[in-house]
Homo-oligomer: A and B are copies of this chain.
């Protein structure tokens, strides 16, 4: 199939995607529910995943100086045995440089066709991807399926669509004519979006594709090449993505090294050497603050999503049980290992309901009960918590100061008796304490008692400004108070979700509708996917001819 044919095949989808960028209405060409797919794919996917175990992962078709792999399934708590081809840093870079020329001169349509086709190929492997993700991140099947497969593909398509929109913003050629009285100054002008060069994309352990593919596809649509440095404990899911990408690229006659996977090990990390390599012009990073701040300090084009401390503000409620349930699910989901998960729940000392006033203790008790309910519910429980990706997460959150309202509960996953499961620890603390003013990634939440909602807002927004925040969930039945919360949190560049109930959870950020990370506070400097997520990856150059 020629480049043009691929583009034509996916043109309609691309057009819909570009339109969705502007309407922000629901748009998800990759359905999130497993039942939307051929039922046979699940078994096939599971089998395919099984065949990858304890083998060299050869599908990348990349050169290998050595083979590395040290992933440990959080469900089994033993290694998956998959090994990936590894090369020296300079070799990745020289491969990338060699592949760059043809790719940057490929038309935008050619690039778009190839990139969308790769997503269509990945679509056939969503179940395999789900199992790969479960056994590297500890996500439950449903989350692993949705986040690594359809949601990631949606985000990748979003980056492609935003790319095409921005890259075609100006005319290729123009007969420019400036009237000068009796004559005119006629100049033939042309504009070209010139790719910046090689982009490094640094992945994280918990969302190995969802957080990685936006930067990868954004780089590729702009004509940059990409080197992906996955987290050494979470490689397999993104490796599947890269394998499909490389296959389609090679089929279309381009050098597959346009995108390379560059795995490393905990003992011998290569991230810093890659990041500092002078030929690397762009870096996309997802991960902790310390390394993220270092990455941001490099004199390159940098896109980061770092950590943040997300808040819930409880001012007044219609139905405290519904509120507690909503919060309980959001803090339990994947054991708080989502960047969008709340950590601090600020509870005004007097929380009004329709017919009464609840104390901090009343509300706290409701939340504790609701968390117990979620983790003991047969249809939620381990299926909501998933497993904890690594031991460090658990050790980081253990034994914090404060009053423990709910200690980790016994939760079992019948399908994985050895899974590293831990239900959220619920602590109570006062607003004057300092313990909750740091990020604790994982299953730990603080119920923070405040004098009133104004104090809740003040502390939450101040923390967002100093430490970063990606989300804020607020409950208030008062329009005036909602306006204050919205204004103050927005001022700290934090989006607010009000009064979520039912199927609406603060953790959810839908591609094409919700911007993920605002870029305005220390939680990150970039957004999936606004115009800057694309425009900073290339440079407009205008040439003139007489």
Contacts and interface: CB of A to CB of B under 8 A. Distances in A.
Given A192-B490, A531-B535, A23 B174 contact: yes
Contact of A531 (B24, B501, B531): B531
Nearest to A166: B531
Interface in A522-545: 527, 530-532, 535-536, 539-545
B520 A25 contact: no
A502 interface: yes
Nearest to A491: B194
The 8 A-B pairs of least Cβ separation, nearest first, read: A520-B539, A497-B544, A26-B178, A498-B545, A490-B541, A185-B503, A532-B535, A493-B539
Nearest to A33: B181
Given A178-B510, A531-B166, A536-B532, A497 B543 contact: yes
A432 B504 CA distance: 68
A221 interface: no
B543 A498 contact: yes
A504 B546 contact: yes
Interface string A101-133: 000000000000000000000000000000000
Interface string A164-176: 0010011100101
A518 interface: yes
Interface in A481-534: 482, 486, 490-491, 493-504, 510, 513-515, 518-520, 527, 530-532
A148 to B, nearest CB: 20
Contacts of A26: 176-179
B170 A542 contact: no
A191 interface: yes
A266 interface: no
24 contacts: A24-B542, A25-B176, A25-B177, A26-B179, A166-B531, A169-B531, A185-B502, A185-B503, A185-B504, A187-B504, A482-B545, A494-B541, A497-B544, A497-B546, A498-B543, A498-B546, A502-B546, A504-B546, A514-B542, A518-B540, A519-B539, A520-B539, A530-B535, A532-B535
A194 B515 CA distance: 14
Contacts of A194: 490-491, 493, 520
Contacts of A24: 170-171, 174, 176, 189, 191, 542
A180 interface: yes
A273 B24 CA distance: 42
Contacts of A545: 482, 497-499
A196 to B, nearest CB: 7
A22 interface: yes
Contacts of A495: 541-544
Contacts of A192: 490
A196 B486 CA distance: 16
Given A496-B544, A500-B546, 18 more contacts: A24-B170, A25-B174, A26-B177, A176-B513, A189-B513, A194-B491, A486-B543, A494-B541, A495-B542, A498-B545, A502-B546, A514-B542, A515-B541, A518-B539, A519-B539, A530-B535, A531-B532, A531-B535
